[in-house]
């Protein structure tokens, strides 16, 4: 009988999801053996595979399992098979968005850390990215994603040449409380980091941006030791490439956070390295920032590190198992320092024998944990 037991809801999803999830679960079990912790993992369907099996992207059984678990670990959803421009057809992404909404996961933490061993993997100059350590705090249950989405066919004047045509809109909304609670998460995070929050908005154009700025500054007043900088989102997109070293915590709303986090992954060398934690007031969810990469699915070439690092975030943020979490991040550090790479982070100078498949990368990490490196 193990000392501790945790129920994990594992949602592999589509594309590369199942193969990277396999690796993450192997790593989890390895760290569990070391600390005498049992991770009881139960898998369920979400996304495209759920549409195929049940006709909807988020079956009730999956939601129930997630709610009753100690934490949820998710792979990725989506793929061309389910792509549709018909707004009435189910989409794999609805599964993920539904899960975020239903579990109230309003705070999405996306750490972007540049590994010393990988400074050359970024297309940016090594001197610009070396040492970068950014935490993107993305609001996750508001904004454009969850405002009204509507398509109306046959609207007078909406067509070409003022003929009848289709109209579509997506409404961006924020309530004060939604901004306040995510801002607080960002300032709290900054207190145990470098003490700086860059709040990113579009206050020169959007009302939601002006409310964002006002509320963020009210919260900032409670944290006099934290430096607060406002930045417009277009400028932030440029600054992330020009001078990424200026950032500590980036606080931003849902859509901007989605875009900026993909951009920031370029600093680290690959989107395949970016993990995330989605937190609310109940069960938390952990998932890589990348998508399901259907073009490389099933080929054993996907980078499993974002999924493994998401499992590490789950250990730290979801289960309060800080030591186990450090074992995983340390093992990832060691494997990278030893020169092991998946194809996405291999460089011209990497010798072919050091380029590993998805499973083999997982085996290296497990070996490091077992060797206590």
Active site residues: 145, 202, 234, 258, 262
Cβ at position 296, least distance to ligand IPM in Å: 17
Burial class (CB in 10 A: 0-12, 13-18, 19+), 322: exposed
Interatomic CA distance for residues 291 and 77, integer angstroms:
7
Q: Does the footprint of ligand IPM cover residue 289 (CB under 6 A)?
A: yes
Site track 51-80 with ligand IPM (rule: CB under 6 A), x = hit:
---------------------------x--
| Binding at 93: pick from Mg ion, ligand IPM, none (beta carbon under 5-8 Å per type) | ligand IPM
Which residue, 202 or 290, has its beta carbon nearer to Mg ion?
290
Binding residues among 82-101 for ligand IPM as defined by CB under 6 A: 93, 96-97
The footprint of Mg ion on this chain (CB under 5 A) covers a number of residues equal to: 1
Cβ distance to ligand IPM smaller for residue 278 or 342: 278
Among 26, 139, 178, 258, binds Mg ion (CB under 5 A): 258
Q: Which is nearer to Mg ion, 253 or 258 (CB)?
A: 258
Q: Which does 14 bind (CB under 5 to 8 A by kind): Mg ion, ligand IPM, none?
A: none
End-to-end CA distance of the chain: 26
Provide the minimum distance between the beta carbon of 276 and Mg ion in the complex, in angstroms, as a whole number.
Answer: 10
Q: Strand pairing of 165-170 and 149-155?
A: antiparallel
330, two tokens? 């340390």
Task: Specify which residues 42 forms β-bridges with.
Answer: 9
- Can you tell me which residue has the tokens 């099933």? 298
CA distance 328 to 225: 32
Residue nearest to ligand IPM (CB): 93
Best CA proximity match to 207, nearest among 215, 217, 199: 215
Rounded to the nearest whole angstrom, what is the least distance from the CB of residue 262 to Mg ion in the complex? 6
Q: How far apart are CA 31 and CA 19, in angstroms?
A: 19
CB of 101 vs ligand IPM, minimal distance in Å: 12
**Which partner from the list Mg ion, ligand IPM, none does 17 bind, CB cut-off 5 to 8 Å by kind?**
none
d(CA 47, CA 297): 15
Q: Which is nearer to Mg ion, 248 or 258 (CB)?
A: 258
Question: Closest CB to ligand IPM among 32 and 288?
Answer: 288
- Which residues ranging from 255 to 284 are in contact with ligand IPM (CB under 6 A)? 258
Handedness of CA 153, 144, 258, 246 (dihedral sign): positive
Q: Tally DSSP H helices, then E strands, for the chain.
A: 12, 12
HEC sequence for 91-115: CHHHHHHHHHHHCCCCEEEEEEECC
Opening angle at CA 196, ends 195 and 199, nearest 5:
145
Q: How far is the CB of 185 from Mg ion (least distance, A)?
A: 19
Which residue's CB is nearer to Mg ion, number 109 or number 321?
Answer: 109
Residue ranges binding ligand IPM (CB under 6 A): 78, 93, 96-97, 258, 289, 291
Residue ranges binding Mg ion (CB under 5 A): 258
């Amino acid at each position: 009988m193990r000392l501790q037991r945790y129920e994990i809801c594992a949602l592999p999803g589509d594309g590369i999801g199942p193969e990277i999830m396999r690796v993450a679960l192997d790593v989890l079990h390895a760290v569990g053996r070391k600390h005498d912790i049992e991770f009881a993992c139960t898998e369920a369907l979400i996304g495209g595979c759920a549409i195929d099996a049940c006709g909807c992207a988020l079956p009730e059984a999956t939601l129930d399992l997630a709610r009753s678990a100690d934490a949820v670990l998710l792979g990725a959803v989506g793929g061309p098979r389910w792509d549709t421009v018909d707004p009435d057809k189910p989409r794999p992404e609805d599964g993920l968005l539904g899960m975020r909404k239903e579990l109230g996961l309003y705070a999405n933490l996306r750490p972007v850390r540049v590994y010393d061993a990988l400074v050359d993997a970024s297309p940016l100059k090594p001197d610009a990215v070396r040492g970068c350590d950014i935490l993107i705090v993305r609001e996750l249950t508001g904004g454009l994603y969850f405002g009204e989405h509507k398509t109306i066919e046959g609207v007078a004047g909406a067509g070409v040449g003022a003929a009848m045509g289709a109209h579509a809109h997506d409404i961006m909304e924020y309530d004060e409380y939604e901004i306040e609670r995510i801002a607080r998460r960002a300032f709290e995070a900054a207190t145990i980091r470098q003490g700086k929050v860059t709040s990113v908005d579009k206050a020169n154009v959007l009302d939601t941006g002006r409310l964002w700025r006002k509320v963020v500054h009210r919260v900032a007043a409670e944290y006099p030791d934290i430096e607060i900088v406002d930045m417009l989102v277009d400028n932030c997109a440029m600054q992330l490439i020009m001078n990424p070293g200026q950032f500590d915590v980036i606080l931003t709303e849902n859509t901007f956070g989605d875009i900026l986090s993909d951009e920031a992954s370029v600093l680290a060398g690959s989107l395949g390295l970016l993990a995330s934690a989605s937190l609310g007031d109940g069960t938390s969810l952990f998932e890589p920032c990348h998508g399901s990469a259907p073009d490389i699915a099933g080929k054993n070439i996907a980078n499993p590190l974002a999924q493994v690092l998401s499992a590490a975030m789950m250990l730290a943020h979801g289960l309060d198992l800080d030591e186990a979490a450090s074992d995983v991040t340390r093992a990832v550090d060691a494997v990278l320092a030893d020169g092991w790479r998946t194809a996405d982070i291999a460089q011209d100078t990497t010798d072919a024998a050091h380029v590993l498949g998805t499973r083999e990368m997982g085996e290296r990490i497990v070996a490091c944990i077992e060797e206590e490196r």
